[in-house]
Amino acid sequence: MKRTVPIGITGLGCLSTLGHTPQAHLEALDLAPAPFRQLGSLTEVPEPLADVLAAWIDPRSLLCHRKWSPATCATLHVARQAVAAAGWSASDCDEAAIIFGTSRGTAAGWLEPWPERRPFPIMAASNSLASEPAAAVSHELGIHGDWHVVSNGCCAGLDALTTAAIWLRAGIVRKVLVLACDLPLVRPVLDAFHSTGILATPGNPGMIPAEGAAALCLESDAPPRAPRLVTHDSIAEPNATLGSTTDLPALRKLLSRVLNAQGSPTLCIPHASGTPMHALSENQILDDLLSSDSVRLPLKHHTGHCIGASGLLETVMACAALKRGSPLQGTDLPAGSTILKIASAMGGKHTVALIQSPHV
């Protein structure tokens, strides 16, 4: 399989604390990052969690539906945006496939009740499925090619993108709707993160848990003016379980492989999880491998860490900037510019994707 055969990105959708559309996200990135809020101002949580800094989607009504789970609501929101922007017809949708990435699935509204939501009891089994967002998008948008779910931790969204690219290059389908969503601001998920000591509080740096969803339409026969997925690659980091090492030799190997083949990108969006150990290692590797002309642009200080959705959300924001053709936080993106996105998953895995603006 030739991973370097470009594939077009034709439609985008995103939802996070920055706004409800790709344009709103770009406008937010042109401003200084807004301060993150303490979780206690969103919901009633015990004292250890009330001070945790977090980012969430407003208004909450966007995530409330009697039939569908909150994660499904967010996924439907971005899916409709992307399909509309791509201009897919009913026949296009009928033949397209769906790849959905998530780390925590539909835990929100299932493992813990969702404020102001009155669910239908008959939908409880569906609402508890990690695959419900993919199935709901298939049902609501008439996308009937096939659907699959990828749950590779914080790599889930970017791995959904690379899985879709493999399907396209293999000729299985011509169009794929790539989706990702995570709503981690619920007690079972927060308790798990809090027990590791990695969550940020005022005065203590760390990971900012955040809600987010993203979508993009990927096509093997896209118009020439569409941004392109040029290449992608992944690697396991077997010694990188949380807290075990600050050395990430596999990430260094992966980035060396991609940069040697493609050259240093115009812009690099690192994983930048916010945890001190990962920041130390990732930054050192990028210092060593990126050329002096490459600009490094972490985005999680704007969005927070949307867990499995972050990789795709940040890729969608990058694609929106390439489509716009104007500078992104002061970095010019002329025709042919490339953006490298990195995602890393707890337990030991890294994925990268390289996208490029059209030359025309």
Domain ranges of the chain: 7-219, 228-356
- Confidence at 319, pLDDT banded by 50, 70, 90: very high
Q: What is the mean pLDDT of residues 104-120?
A: 82
The residue ranges of DSSP E strands in the chain, in sequence order, are 7-16, 37-38, 53-54, 97-101, 146-150, 175-182, 212-219, 228-236, 267-269, 295-296, 338-345, 349-356
Whether the model pTM is above 0.75: yes
β-bridge mates for residue 55, sequence order: 210
| Mean pLDDT, rounded, of the chain | 91
What was the pLDDT predicted at 348? Answer: 86
Domains 7-219 and 228-356 share a fold: yes
7-219: CATH topology is: Peroxisomal Thiolase; Chain A, domain 1 (3.40.47)
Has residue 342 got a pLDDT over 80? yes
Give the 3-state secondary structure of residue 231: strand
Buried b (16+ CB within 10 A) or exposed e, 225-244: ebbbbbbbbbbebeebeeee
Give CA–CA dist 253/249, Å, rounded: 6
Task: Give the pLDDT score at 82.
Answer: 98
Q: What is residue 324's predicted lDDT score, i.e. its pLDDT?
A: 87
**What is the mean pLDDT of the segment spanning 114-143?**
90
Q: Return the structure tokens found at 255.
A: 């980035």
User: Which of the pair, 95 or 241, is modelled with greater confidence?
Assistant: 95
Residue 321 CB neighbours (<10 A): 25
Q: Is domain 228-356 classified as CATH 3.40.47.10?
A: yes
d(CA 162, CA 114): 32
Q: Is the pLDDT of residue 243 over 60?
A: no
Name the band, by pLDDT with cuts 50, 70 and 90, for residue 1.
very low
pLDDT at 95 over 50: yes
